[in-house]
Structure formats: structure tokens, C-alpha cells
A and B are shown apart, each in its own frame.
Chain A
Amino acid sequence: MNEFVETLLSLTWHEPRSSYDVVIIGGGGHGLATAYYLATRHGITNVAVVEADYIGSGNSGRNTTIIRSNYGIPESIRFYRHSQVLYDRLEDETGCWIMHATKGLIWLAHTESAMRAERARCQLNNAMGVETVLVDPVEIKRLCPQIDLSGGGRYPVLGASYHVPASTARHDRVVWAYAQGAMERGVHVLQQTTVTGLLRDGDRVVGVRTNRGDIAAGTVMSAVGGDVTTIASYAGVRLPVRTHPLQAFVTNGYSQGFGPIVSDTELLCYISQTARGQMLIGHEYDREQSYSRQSSFQFLQANAVKMSYLLPFVRNLRILRQWTGRCDVSADFSPIMGFTGVDGFVITTGWGTWGFKAIPAGGEQMAELIATGRTPEMIAPFALDRFAADHSMADQGSTGTR
């Protein structure tokens, strides 16, 4: 039997009610985790998660599953570290196997300036209790014997920062674990239900309009990934977000074990091995904004070339599948969580190409915000009004883009 066919899930599907305490738009990781923590931490179960397609059909089921906290600003390091800790406990807490595996992440540097940046990253991470250490080429070769330290003669490796607790987990199992945990406690997950507008009472948002009818809500949360600009526009909220495609591909199986995750801060590509032995390869996002999920040959070509400089063995592999997600990239490359200035309407966005790792912490914190009506201290720096207050959380260098 295929180990990836989930047989242990017990999901009960419901018809929509006319009203809920909380309606969450988007059945990706962030929407479902928020529902799960509302139910488990706050006893709020009169909740619907409204999903246009099937759960996990967005970026949460399309990503390369890297979970790390080696960020470049203290507020982010603390938040993502907390998310790692929640991930560590998730299998025990939910009883669902999410195939969580700690692998360590090697962030390669090819220039002195990149080495300086990684040195600074290590110091900041360690000061925040996150284990990230500077490693030299000899140590890199020990961690990853397949690497060509000359970078194909073009990109010699000077060193790397090694983020010890980095891990991966099976993405749709994470989605299912949160969905099941929430649904067991009474949350409704409404698939094939598209939000086409917001219900207003004066300035307040009081529900959602869907292709299956109107649904009233005490609080509406948007967790729709790359489609956030459209949903926010229904509430008249302007966002510092651009929607960019992000692509990835997998090869056929590589017969040896490949232990760590390897990422290149200058070539802007990264690789890890899946549980099936395939090599999973990603890249920075496409430069132009787009909502189409078209994949491009140019992406494959550019990436295959770069990867084969670093890891010559990939030349002998074949590409099996290629796909694209639609990412909500914020102007300062940090997430946007919390109140929007419109009563009854809260938001979690700006997850861009980096939000899978954040699903547990993002969900937990947004659940607390909805339940208490107050912004939890941990996510206060990530509020939407930071842009107007001139407190942008600029940290592009930690997102693997340039």
C-alpha cells in the first residue's frame, strides 16, 4: 500500500450553517491551524473553514516543507523558533504522523560578504537560543559528502551557516492533522466553497458571501495565501502584498541517502531528499507578479544548471514533476498578522515563500487574537499598521530571495 494514502483520517463533512462565531476563509495550513487552536486552546468550536477547492490545494500542499528559524531579526527568530517547538510536539499532540524529520540546514556562501552575513546570522541566532553555527568547507564535506566544494569550478564554497534544528514534514499530512483535530472537536470544514464577497453592517464585516450562500460570522479571518488582495479588497483594505509564482520540482529516486537540506544564499536555490528518496529542488520566486500557476522550462533549466554545479550527481537524475504555487509576498518579506482596521475582519498573510514553517505558531497566535480580541505580544511586531508606523520588519536576506 502507498504510505502516502491516508487511511487513518476520520473527517466528517457538513453542510454550511447560516452562522458561525468565526469564519476562516482558506483551508490551507494557516486557516486550519487557527481553527484547531481555537478549538483546543480556547474551546471555540462554532467555527467554519471555507475552502474554495480542497484543503491543502494551495501553497500548503505545494511547498518544499522546510522548517527553520535561522532568521535575521530577533522578533522573527523568536516566532519561528516557537513554531519549530510546536512542530516538534505536533505528532504527539494530534496522534497524526506528519513524517517530521530533523535534517539540519547548510546555507552555503561563496563570497566574503556572504560569509559576513552568515557570521552575523550565527551570532544573532545563538543569542536568541537558536543553534546556527559557522562551518568551514571541510565540515561541509563531512555533513554532505556529495557536494563539489569548487562549485563546478565556478562557485567555490567559502563556508556556510549550519542551522542544526532545521527539519521537514510531509506537507499535506500537516494540513490533514490540523483539519482532523479541528473537525473532531466540531469545526466545520466546507470544501468547494468560494468566498465571493464580505457581508457588511456599516463599517463592520459580519460574514461572507459564498457560492453556497451567505454565512454570518462574529469574526472573519482571511487565510487565503496568494489571493489575499482580492479578499481584502472586499473589506476596502489595501495591502503591501504582491502575488508571485514560486516553482519547485522533484527528480526520480537517488539511490544514496542525502542527509541535510542544502541551500545556496547566492545561487538562490535549495535541495533536500524526500522520504521516497527523490531530490526536491526549489528556487527563488518568479520576478513578475502572477496568479497563473504556469510552470516554466526556464526555471527548470536555470535550476538544473545551478544544482549540478554544487551537486554533480543530480546530472544523472531525471525530472519527474514540476509545479507552482501562488505566494503572498509582503513588502518587507515578513508576515502580516492581526487586525486590519476594519471591525470583524482579521488577516494572516505575507507568508510568501516561507510560511509552511509558521503554520503552528501562526495558527496558535491568530487563535489567541480572535479568542481574546487582543494582539498577542509575540505577533505584535507583525501587525499591518507597522508600515504606517514606519516599523517595517525588513528581512529579505533570510527568505532565500534577492
Chain B
Amino acid sequence: MLIVFCPNCGPRPVEEFRFGGELPSPPESITDPAERDFDQVWMFNNVAGIHTERWYHDAGCHRWTTVRRDTRVDRIVEQHVSLRPD
């Protein structure tokens, strides 16, 4: 079973959360701003590997958290990822 770590409430079964999807991140190779916008709206990285994604803790604190998950084995490899640039 997939366990998501909520920074406020602790480790919980995935059923407590709503999936917020992967963070859109057009590849660096796309430089044209209009093309980046298009990619951001429609395209998905959808990697078989490490996926940066958002979860909403519906049954607990009602807060979003960002994690990195390995989509091949459904395990979270990094919890509580900060989205603020250092």
C-alpha cells in the first residue's frame, strides 16, 4: 500500500489524500515561451521513475504537500519537498 507522509499529521494510507498531479515542468530544451506554455498545459512528463507530485490531505489537515515518488514501485523516496527556491 502506498503511504504518503503528511508534514502535519504523519504517515497515512493514500486513501486519505487527493492526488494533485505531477508538477508541470517543460523540458529545458523548449525555449520558445508560447511552446513552453503549450507544453505546460497539455504535456506530461509521466516518467516511469521519480515523479514530483502534489497531494492534498483531505482527511486530515487539509494542506498540500509535495513528494517525490518512484512510479515503478509506488514508494515515496522524498517527502515534504520544498518548492521554494533556496
Interfacial chain B residues near A240, Cβ < 8 Å: 42-44
CA distance A243 to B49 in the complex (A): 12
- Residue of A239, A240, A289, A331 most packed against chain B (CB within 10 A): A289
Contact digits for B33-51, partner A, Cβ 8 Å, 1 yes 0 no: 0000011001111111001
How far does the alpha carbon of A294 sit from the alpha carbon of B48 in the complex, in Å?
15
Cβ of B83 within 8 Å of any chain A Cβ, yes or no, is: no
One of B13, B14, B27, B72 near A288 (C-beta < 8 A): B14
Let me know if B42 and A294 touch, CB within 8 A.
Answer: no
Bin chain B's interface residue count.
20 to 34
Query: Which A residues are in CB contact (< 8 Å) with B38?
Result: 387-388
Could you say which of A227, A238, A287 has the most chain B C-beta atoms within 10 Å of its C-beta?
A238
**B6-42 vs A: 1/0 string, CB under 8 Å?**
0000000111001100100001000000000011001
Q: A296 near B53 (CB under 8 angstroms)?
A: no
Chain B residue nearest to A237 (CB atoms) is B43
Interface size, chain A (Cβ < 8 Å): 22
Residue ID in chain B nearest A297 by CB atoms: B1
Which of B13, B18, B71 contacts A287 (CB under 8 A)? B18
Say whether B46 contacts A289, CB under 8 Å.
yes
* Complex CA–CA separation, A230 to B43 (angstroms): 14
- Let me know if B2 is at the binding interface, CB within 8 A: yes
Interface flag for A33 (CB, 8 Å): no
Q: Decide: B48 and A291 in contact? CB cutoff 8 A.
A: yes
User: Is there a chain B Cβ closer than 8 Å to A241's Cβ?
Assistant: yes
Known contacts A294-B74, A296-B1, A388-B38; is-contact A288 B46 (Cβ 8 Å)? no
Chain A residue with Cβ nearest B27: A238
A242 contacts partner chain B, Cβ-Cβ < 8 Å: yes
Q: How far is the CB of B71 from chain A (nearest CB, A)?
A: 5
Q: Which residue of A lies closest to B13 (CB)?
A: A298
Task: Answer whether residue B77 sits at the interface, using C-beta atoms and an 8 A cutoff.
Answer: no
Shortest Cβ gap from B80 to chain A (Å): 17
For A288, the closest partner residue in chain B by CB is B19
Which residues from chain A contact B22 at a C-beta distance below 8 Å? 242, 289
- Cβ–Cβ < 8 Å partners of A291 in chain B: 48, 71-72
Query: In the bound complex, do residue B71 and residue A289 qualify as a contact, i.e. CB atoms below 8 Å apart?
Result: yes
Supposing A238-B39, A287-B19 touch, asked if A229 and B47 sit within 8 A by C-beta, the answer is: yes
User: Is A242 in contact with B18, judged by CB distance below 8 angstroms?
Assistant: no
Whether A292 pairs with B72 at a CB distance below 8 angstroms is yes
Query: Within 8 Å CB of A239, what residues of B?
Result: 43-44, 46
Task: With CB as the reference atom, state the residue of chain A lying closest to B75.
Answer: A292
Interface of B toward A, CB cutoff 8 Å: 1-2, 13-15, 18-19, 22, 27, 38-39, 42-48, 51, 53, 69, 71-74
**A/B interface sample: 9 pairs, CB < 8 A:** A229-B46, A239-B46, A242-B46, A288-B2, A288-B14, A291-B48, A292-B72, A296-B1, A297-B1
